Structure 1
């Protein structure tokens, strides 16, 4: 499989120039040897393709990096201090210090990537290339990438100034006002429709835009467009900040038939379902629990059929040693000499259902006594918890834990004939590393290759980041069906997702179905940068993103007559108790303010462009 390599435009040009100059005997040629003219680039198939490949650079590492968007939501908390993540989670964002989201998502960066797309589109509109099939493919890719970057601006900032040409030096003005939300939606959808038509029938390498990618992104964009946050009458009734904003047209639709917007969202999602089956199994009932665990792991790791889920992804190659291949190091347990970066919080853990489809409840004595038993298969494929079986530890640490079990609590052991306390090897009191370690008592397993030969501390993995996958489109379709009152159709498709992981069918209706769907989306799309946007567009962040983060305290005490001098997880020897505990407010004191529905436009951008209007809540 040819995987997309993040090759920059300049690197490829440099290689091409070396080849060309080495073969050129015309020593009197006065053309600069370190530059290639625009005409030469767009008349040469290899250089033109390199230029379009360069438009992908804004994808960065995908969602894989030391800091992840999950830690700005109620999925995770970032372990390490001194980072700008808390500016977002504590609602301290402002135009001078917006806080951390992702460096590639900064307003100015987005426009630099859009400009690269515009340069490509302009040069392919009246092409110098003679291969029309190549021209169509490159144009389709450029249109898709412009739409992708534009949709990032839209969902983080609201309506943005549409720039559909490459500005040059000496322009009369570089100031441009923001377009309305509706205009931005129409612009993005227009690009995606064109991209889908241009890329139809094209065989694309993995990691490159495709017709299915254009259809899937259109599905996402139209789902957002129909959501509560972007229907201004609905949003205004839920937020006084939005109702008092002078320019609501930048944030959503101020009028119009909302049901028609849901119908467009449904139709766009159905177009994906009609053209691709992913690896969603056509089942009449749930698979076994063990098969469900394996199915979800395959999807997360894009292996053993799971790669069929991917529609558009960022691939990584071990030899390149990119950050995207370091998820085991960034997020793995400190008892494995990893960094424990983005650790699941208890709210998230608790939202995994029991195997029988009932809710987990700490007030249920059976649940509280054994909280990690009989849970949704995705629980075991996504989380590392106390007692979970994991990889072998390093040879130096295997004498402390020869079984490779996660230890996130404190336990009794025999020391010189008396009972003493053993702090788990994956706690912040670990005898292996005590400066890294989870504050919550959990680590995430999803996206981390379980192959024992991949030692996360010093090995890069090759798990791709899923920008767009088939099941997202299925969930989009379900949500639109619910909003249109087509509940039977919604349940049919929602149950197909559940059957694949061994979960029973749901039969809910009304508000119960809405809540069941939202939780299903939360669990299925965990750590995939969905929750940040979902909580906002559903306008439920106060009770989700604004909650204080919490974790678990695990204690193992000997059962009568039992003892061990080397700890291992064993319910026959230990009584285990579990207590939900709040994270120290000094670490992170989460709160929600409505201004955080959108990011502020940085004051530098406001100073450069006097026609910009700031987002609500950032003008005080």
Structure 2
């Protein structure tokens, strides 16, 4: 009996030990869906994966359904008015904020970059890998801070991660100058660490860092951040903290010289970058069209334009890969989301370099003929040739031409009204047709085999391209009075697109440059900032949206059964009018030069000072 009891006691004790052991192991179970910090930074693949995740902060880059040009005079968003364009934004109503500028999103990415830099600084992994990952983390941190700087002005520079025992999580805004200096120093560090590193597509490089530095310094030299120019805007002039908006001392030439020198570093790499910029005379119109299309598709030599880009793959379901479906016309089952305005279309010159003029009777009667080749490569307009229609549209339009108007079929004596396939009254879909009379073609894959509504695209979104740096250099030359050099480089861009040389000087040269930059870089996230930093927003972004209405009536004695664009059969009338204010009633308020910081952020951080006018 004693032996039995003793055995039970032994079993009980062992069971208790085993249960305690099991309980301890159960509580110490490691999660199966994530790696620990210790494991991440001890493993080269996991360390690289952590840094690679930083690039997700780019989101869809410029190929979002709603392009940044929709909050400029260049474009309109089809599905809802933009509060920013009506001046209705406030700390409590930010309106639409692209997620690559949103305060919380950017600081979350900055925190990840800070964490990577702290861990890599003590890493025992291979030095070559550590240097590369450190360089990429510096670049991405600089990129995210620059996104915030050009959107809000000076922001708090958080350079290290917070811990649970950090005594104070609040932090004041840094000055604009401090932010510029920090971003530049980050990019210099990134460029050094990434020098000679062989990186794949879409990753930061040494040259990308230098190119972003050129952009940062050009913005910093611009009028909006000059203390004298800033004071000319009443809403901004009385702001108690001008150091958050720009410099407090004026040094125009020195800052533009820095911007020019930074751009020259990239221009000196013309053997590595740049596409068809070595022409001594304008390309033909056909070649100009092809050159421009290659440059934005990054194909057939156009890939040399890319310094930094967001790439997409058909194998991965990402929103930017659906750019074709999101923005092609409803007659192709697209959504026509981001639409060029008539304001933008009017900026395209005639082939001889003269301005398009609605007071010119011949041009008014035929506005889509003999224009800058970039117009045809950028915009889908009435009568433009495009891809084969889907089966439900092929019988209605066997000619594969964009139909943006109201036409007649039947006979001239007994006409029947016909609404074009790509209008809001179209016979295929009528909820997503164009409001402006145009749709975007730029960044659309022209391959007829790609059916946009059910095929993902692999066209990359250029975040920094060589031509932008050329423009930056040209602008610096103009500001420094070096007009011959400015014209020389500006004409390289024009020759590539088939446009003649310019000979303008003074204020006319500056205006010509600004128009050229806008036309060339349409839908590349430039106009939103250019109009502000040049301080021309009241006369550009504040303009009402102009749209196109097209009617075509059969000429006497003509009859057709299936509509096709034809000046032999039809008389066309092109009428420019303002967009219905119920859709969007644009106006300009000077406070929109800088975006509001959300009320939630102000409430969480009592050291934050709001931007002026809010």
- Aligned partners of 1:69 and 1:101 also within 8 Å: no
Unaligned runs of 5+ in 2: 1-24
Give the secondary-structure state (helix, strand or coil) at the position aligned to 2:199.
coil
Give the secondary-structure state (helix, strand or coil) at the position aligned to 1:400.
coil
Equivalent in the alignment of 1:398? 394
Equivalent in the alignment of 1:259? 253
**1:245 lines up with 2:245 in the alignment:** no
Q: CA deviation at 1:458?
A: 1.0
Larger Rg: 2
Give the secondary-structure state (helix, strand or coil) at the position aligned to 1:167.
coil
**1:235 lines up with 2:237 in the alignment:** no
Aligned pairs for 1:412-491 (under 5 A) are 412-414=408-410, 418-491=414-487
Equivalent in the alignment of 2:158? 163
**Structure 1: how far apart are the matches of 2:453 and 2:55?**
29
Q: CA deviation at 1:256?
A: 3.8
Q: CA deviation at 1:77?
A: 0.6
Give the secondary-structure state (helix, strand or coil) at the position aligned to 2:476.
helix
Instruction: Compare 554-563 and 132-141 and name the one that shifted more.
Output: 554-563
Give the secondary-structure state (helix, strand or coil) at the position aligned to 2:353.
coil
Unaligned runs of 5+ in 1: 1-26
Equivalent in the alignment of 2:355? 359
Which of 102, 111, 118 is equivalent to 2:107?
111
Aligned pairs for 1:62-77 (under 5 A) are 62-77=61-76
Instruction: Compare 140-149 and 275-284 and name the one that shifted more.
Output: 275-284
Give the secondary-structure state (helix, strand or coil) at the position aligned to 2:129.
helix
TM-score, length basis structure 1 = 0.93
**1:194 lines up with 2:189 in the alignment:** yes
Aligned pairs for 1:561-600 (under 5 A) are 561-600=557-596
What's the CA shift string for 1:566-620, capped at 9, x where partnerless? Answer: 11001111111111011100000000001101111001100111000000000xx
Give the secondary-structure state (helix, strand or coil) at the position aligned to 2:192.
helix
Q: CA deviation at 1:29?
A: 12
Q: CA deviation at 1:28?
A: 11
Q: CA deviation at 1:155?
A: 0.3
Q: Would you identify which runs of 4 or more consecutive aligned residues in structure 1 move more than 6 Å? A: none
Equivalent in the alignment of 1:21? none
Change (3 A) 1:417 1:157: same
Equivalent in the alignment of 1:379? 375
- Aligned partners of 1:69 and 1:532 also within 8 Å: yes
- Aligned partners of 2:176 and 2:246 also within 8 Å: yes
Q: CA deviation at 1:415?
A: 6.6
TM-score, length basis structure 2 = 0.94
What's the CA shift string for 1:467-508, capped at 9, x where partnerless? Answer: 110000000000000000000110010000001011100010
Aligned pairs for 1:162-181 (under 5 A) are 162-181=157-176
Equivalent in the alignment of 2:12? none
Aligned pairs for 1:182-221 (under 5 A) are 182-221=177-216
Q: CA deviation at 1:307?
A: 1.1
**1:273 lines up with 2:276 in the alignment:** no
What's the CA shift string for 1:376-435, capped at 9, x where partnerless? Answer: 010000001110001111112111000001111111211797212111111111111111
How many residues are paired up? 587
What's the CA shift string for 1:320-358, capped at 9, x where partnerless? Answer: 121111111111111111111111110100000000100
- Aligned partners of 1:328 and 1:338 also within 8 Å: yes
